[in-house]
Amino acid sequence: MIRKLSFSVLVCVLMLAFSVGVIAEKITVWTWYDGTLGASFKQLLQEDFVAKTGIEVELYTAPVADITTKLLLAVIGGDAPDVVMLYSNQVVELGVRGALHNIVGMPELESTFEIMLPGLMRQLSYKSAVFALPGEVNWTWTYYRTDILQEVGAEVPNTWDEMKSLSTKLKARDMDVYYDYQGDVAARSTGRLLPFVFQRGTDIYTEDGTASNLTDPRVVEGFKELVSLFKDYKWPLENPGSTTFVDGATPIQIYQNWYYSVYLRYPQISGKWDIAEIPGTVQSDGTIDRTNTGKMLTWSITSSSKNKEAAAKFLAWAVSPEFTSKFSQLGYDSPEKWRLFFSTRDGLDRSGFPEEHMPMAQAALEKVKMQRSVVGGLVADRYIDFAFTTVVLQNTSPEEALKTAAKDSTDEIQRKIKEFSRFIASL
């Protein structure tokens, strides 16, 4: 009798525990947010997502360095997170290796695809599969010192030719132009090249993603213009840092949009700088193509997750306008005054970005084109950096450098397609 009673009590306790959420769903999330942004993210996570869904979240700061290898090992070892934050250029590479879950068809995420800027999804997709949702989005634009340009009698350049002319004028006064694309070494050269390629209506890989397109005459032309900036016009190869913008040594800097927050921290140049779209290429009809490129922080569900439904709910929350608008505000209210931009159609409107800069920012965002993802792309991109380096530092001809890079890139892509054919066939 006592045993029966004890069993009945146990059942009641378990039922009560489930009903009040004592025994709750739980997911593990790797994120790159740390510091003040990490604290704000954790605050919203507890106050909003956990409170509303009852899903507990174990949050870890992700290992940014070599995260692709670490995630693959974690998936194989059975201790991978349910959700991971990645750079957008890493997503397809991990997806075709079977480390990430294809989120197409998940009911929890159907509405999220509708609120995303469609031009940003190409880097997260392969064939019919989608392996991530975009969160923060960064793109490239021009920062310029209005006071210094006024001193030298110049306007902010609209084209690369105008930028070259201004560069010559600044060089005569011991000042420089700096152009960068933040990322690892391979991504830097590729990111610098892409606007020159996109503005000519082509791409660095073939449309089917099976080979390099570096020998396309338009790519060669764009590459030659890029390397000329560093070889002939002697633009700095190494990042001179934000202080050179402040002291006027590099009064023109082409950087990603998150640098806006960095320059806000210097009161001595308040009211003395502005932003503009990236320089463009003049088209045959006289118009200027100012297509730029960028990268994103993205959210993925790992293939080994045992709680994919809860993970999908987390993704839907992490990209929702409700969360991103609150997170943007907390970012700006922080001591660093971060200006965060997200990938939803109304993300810029919700960012709290200054009204006077909104039209330019909107125009630049509409012209963002993400790099096409190909299997083996992380390695293939390195050959672009090799080509850039051999031309600028070793005086190799651009045509020969790209011919070598095209062959090596295509070989790498074909090798990886064969290696991961089993996963690719299932997509």
Residue 345: per-residue pLDDT:
84
Residue 183: per-residue pLDDT:
62
Residue 8: per-residue pLDDT:
52
The Cα 322–Cα 207 span in angstroms is 36
The secondary structure of 264-302 as a DSSP string is TT-GGGTTSEEEEEPPBEE-TTS-EE--B-EEEEEEEEB
The Cα 26–Cα 149 span in angstroms is 55
| 139-293 matches 25-137+295-366 in CATH topology | yes
Residue 184: per-residue pLDDT:
62
pLDDT, one tens digit for every residue, the chain (427 residues): 444 445 454 445 445 444 444 456 999 999 999 999 999 999 999 999 999 999 999 999 987 778 888 999 999 999 999 999 999 999 999 999 999 999 999 999 999 999 998 888 889 999 999 999 999 999 999 999 999 999 999 999 999 999 999 999 999 999 999 999 876 666 789 999 999 999 999 999 999 999 999 999 999 999 999 999 999 999 999 888 889 999 999 999 999 998 999 999 999 999 999 999 999 999 999 999 999 999 999 999 999 999 999 999 999 999 999 999 999 999 999 988 899 999 888 888 878 888 899 999 999 988 999 999 999 998 999 999 999 999 999 999 999 999 999 999 999 999 999 999 998 988 8
pTM: 0.90
The secondary structure of 196-228 as a DSSP string is HHHTTT--SB-TTSSSB-TTSHHHHHHHHHHHH
Does 139-293 carry CATH code 1.20.58.2050?
Answer: no
Residue 260: per-residue pLDDT:
92
Residue 427: per-residue pLDDT:
85
The C-alpha torsion from 280 through 283 and 286 to 290, rounded to 10°, is -20
The secondary structure of 152-195 as a DSSP string is TT-PPPSBHHHHHHHHHHHHTTT--EEE---SSHHHHHHHHHHH
Residue 240: per-residue pLDDT:
87
Domain boundaries along the sequence of the chain: 25-137+295-366, 139-293
CATH assignment of 25-137+295-366, among 3.30.590.10, 3.40.190.10, 3.40.47.10, 3.30.420.40: 3.40.190.10
Residue 67: per-residue pLDDT:
87
